[in-house]
Amino acid sequence: MSDSVFEAWARLRPQVAGLHVVSDNAKPLLIRPASLRDPSKIPPRQWLYGTILVRRYITVLVAPGGVGKTAWSIAVGASLAAGKGLIGDWVHSRVNVLFCSLEDPEDEFDRRIAACMIKHRLDDEDLKGRVFTINGRDRRLTIAALDADGLTVCYPDKDALIAAIRQHNIGAVFVDPFVNSHELEENSNPHINAAARAWAEIAEATQCAVLLVHHTRKGAVAGDIDSGRGASALIGACRAGFTLTAMTPEEAKEFGIPEKERRLHIRLDDGKANLAPPSDKARWFRLSSIRLHNGNEDYPNGDSVQAVEEWEPPSVWKQLSDDDCNAALDAIQAGPGGGQKYTASRTGKAAAGRWAGRVLVEMFDLTEPQAAKVVNTWLHNGLLVEVEEYDPVQRKPRKGLAVDNTKRPGR
């Protein structure tokens, strides 16, 4: 990035005209016969970014505070503006983007976009004239609110925002956070449905994609889209819903990530798929601290700001060759000694010392979660099978593991 990036970024800031109240135009209610078109003639959905953002619809991102949802959103928006995927997803169309930064002051957004540009080696020309902002500290953006009677929902800034989006040819709008874009009751389904519908109507009227960033309640887990704060109507109104969560202590142990670095790793899950994938199949990202080199006399060190990058978790299978696997299988087949067999289970005092995963831990320095993943995979594909044989130590039949040699790696 050139030395003049910060001066250049100042020139990129849009001057969006002041917004004012404009009432909705009434449309007649029409009932039409269904077209029943040839399926091959129906146009496909107009995806902009992976299968996350699509024109004419809203997407909801649900995440706890401090996880990195703003850094992730900025990376997605910068990808669309630059026309190239910065964090892994495919950019279907290069479009202008609008960030409705409704929580932080304008210079904080400038720091975050600058950190993203530095991290991903974007220069001024990549984003020039394609990134626009509305700052909620300067003037509130109110898409939906209660009228003076306290009962009727009105839409103070809806039409003016539609006009601004059209004026600047915006293809994707990022709203961070959603709660600051309306003044309705957060726990009321009718109210939140009205606010969500207003954003959906903005998306339809402008043919743009809208991402609503939403906070979670406490105790959110990966893939639980219903952990969003307040009324559930918001999730029902979106075409796509995702969760962004920090790596759990259990996941950190599985991947061998030190505890002090755990929260720098975040996972994105499709919340509308109902079931989060296993940790090694999830979409992972890592937060990096980027120095802006903007120190002055009062603050000589300047700022360090988070930017997000794609991250691939270490795969236990990349650590094990076919020869390694066969050596471990030989040891499991031989048993722990005394005529006993290894077990698939770690539960119970007697089983703890006979767990087959101990072989992998001791031979290859795997973590216990990694060893458990290997053992469970071998059980699932039939390489390891449970058999019941007489245990000479316990003097009774007990379950243990045997190897199906026909399924060994390399055969």
Task: Take residue 161 and report the two structure tokens written for it.
Answer: 């925002």
Residue 124, token pair as written in the block: 């001024």
- Is the domain spanning 317-407 CATH 1.10.1060? The answer is no
Confidence of residue 259 (pLDDT cuts 50, 70, 90): very high
Q: How confident is the model at residue 12 (pLDDT cuts 50, 70, 90)?
A: very low
Q: Tell me: the pLDDT tens digits for 289-327?
A: 999 999 999 999 999 999 999 998 887 777 888 888 999
Tell me the residue type at 13. R
Cα–Cα distance, 238 to 200 (Å, whole number): 8
Mapped onto helix, strand or coil, the DSSP state of residue 44 is coil
pLDDT of residue 8 exceeding 50, the answer is no
Looking at mean pLDDT, say which of 26-40, 118-132, 263-277 comes out highest: 118-132
Q: How far apart are the first and last CA of the chain?
A: 52
Of all residues in the chain, what percent carry a pLDDT higher than 90?
47
List Cα–Cα distances, 171 to 142, 162, 190, 212, 379, in angstroms. Answer: 20, 12, 28, 15, 49
pLDDT of residue 2: 45
In the predicted model, what is the mean pLDDT of the chain? 85
pTM for the model stands at 0.79
Q: Say whether the peptide bond before residue 177 is cis (omega within 30 degrees of 0).
A: yes
Q: Widest CA span of the chain, in angstroms?
A: 85
Give the pLDDT confidence of 348-369 residue by residue, as tens digits.
Answer: 555 567 888 888 888 988 888 8
Q: Which CATH architecture has domain 5-20+45-310?
A: 3-Layer(aba) Sandwich (3.40)
Select, from the ranges 20-29, 161-170, 327-336, the one with the highest average predicted confidence (pLDDT).
Answer: 161-170
Confidence of residue 219 (pLDDT cuts 50, 70, 90): low
What are the domain boundaries of the chain? Answer: 5-20+45-310, 317-407
Q: pLDDT value at position 11?
A: 45
pLDDT of residue 10: 44
